[in-house]
Amino acid sequence: MMIRGLLSILVGLGQTQTPDPFAIVGRAGRVYRNLTSLQADFVQILQDRAQGDTLTGKGVVSQAGNNYFAMRFSDPPNEAIVVDGKYIWTYTPSTAGNQVTRSPVPTDPVYGVNLLAKVLDRPQERYKATYVARDTTSGATTDVVELVPLSQNGPFRKAKLWLGVEDALPRRIELDESPGFRRILILSHLRTNAPFNKKTFTFEVPAGARVVEGRWGTGDGGRGTEDMGGGR
């Protein structure tokens, strides 16, 4: 009898159920949409394997709503991507010279420029999802989930998300955006629902910089924006 009971326990341990990736992403989407704002320190790594190039930057990222966003770099210093509700201002002199690109905010009535809100929304309808592992990222225990879009028209080919077990917030995002190009965003010291100074989402053109009109996705020196804050 004791042996049979021990065997039953061992069999049960061997049948530990893999967490449901759709439930993890769905929870993250609900938590994220209920935020009024999100601010975090970031490290961004852009890998272009075709060119053999890697760009690394760090700073502070802030977002409130779908169309208010600021990604201000401390390295490279003084670089910024700011969405003020009407325009996207991109200033990356280390890759684009001493010019500012001003682009109109995309007219997406649901997500605006908030890519993460779009990534997390309705995962069962839009992705093949795989649970990868339990990990520790930026001091938080995370569930790692891989998403592959069912449609070829999405903003990425594959995404891997590290989502906090306790708070469901993202700590690391890896996006394979095109063949050979990967964007990695690592977030730490997350601050949620904090009030913001209006200047956070205001861009001041540096003295001597030339302003050019652009279209989002061009003229940003390859840095781009992966918006992280809470949608309303």
Q: How many CA atoms lie within 13 A of 211 on its CB side?
A: 10
Is 8 a residue whose pLDDT tops 50? no
Q: What is the pLDDT of residues 101-133, one digit of tens each?
A: 999 987 765 556 677 887 888 899 999 999 999
pLDDT at 217: 54
* Structure tokens that stand for 207 in this block: 């003295």
- Which stretch, 96-100, 105-109, 189-193, 218-222, has highest mean pLDDT? 189-193
What are residue 104's phi and psi, to 5 degrees?
-70, 145
Task: Provide the mean pLDDT of the chain.
Answer: 85
Is 140 a residue whose pLDDT tops 90? yes
How many Å apart are CA 169 and CA 165, to the nearest integer?
Answer: 8
Is 25 a residue whose pLDDT tops 80? yes
Q: What is the pLDDT of residues 180-208, one digit of tens each?
A: 899 999 999 999 998 888 899 999 999 99
pLDDT at 109: 56
How many Å apart are CA 156 and CA 152, to the nearest integer?
Answer: 9
Tell which residue, 63, 77, 28, 40, has the closest CA to residue 186.
40
pLDDT at 226: 46
Tell which residue, 112, 144, 99, 110, has the closest CA to residue 225.
112
Q: Residue 3's pLDDT band (boundaries 50, 70, 90)?
A: low
Across residues 159-178, what is the average pLDDT? 95
- The H or E element containing residue 159 is strand 158-164
Cβ-Cβ contacts under 8 Å for 96 (sequence gap 6 or more): 90, 219, 220, 221
Across residues 30-45, what is the average pLDDT? 94
Percent residues over pLDDT 90 in the chain:
62
Confidence (pTM): 0.83
Q: What is the pLDDT of residues 42-82, one digit of tens each?
A: 999 999 988 889 999 999 999 998 789 999 999 999 999 99
Across residues 156-160, what is the average pLDDT? 93
How many Å apart are CA 63 and CA 232, to the nearest integer?
Answer: 11
Partners of 44 in beta bridges: 57, 185
Lowest mean pLDDT among 10-24, 88-102, 124-138, 216-230: 216-230
Across residues 123-144, what is the average pLDDT? 95
Please provide the DSSP assignment of 127-157 as one string: EEEEEEEEEEETTEEEEEEEEEESSTTSS-S
| Domains recognised in the chain with CATH numbers | 18-203 (2.50.20.10)
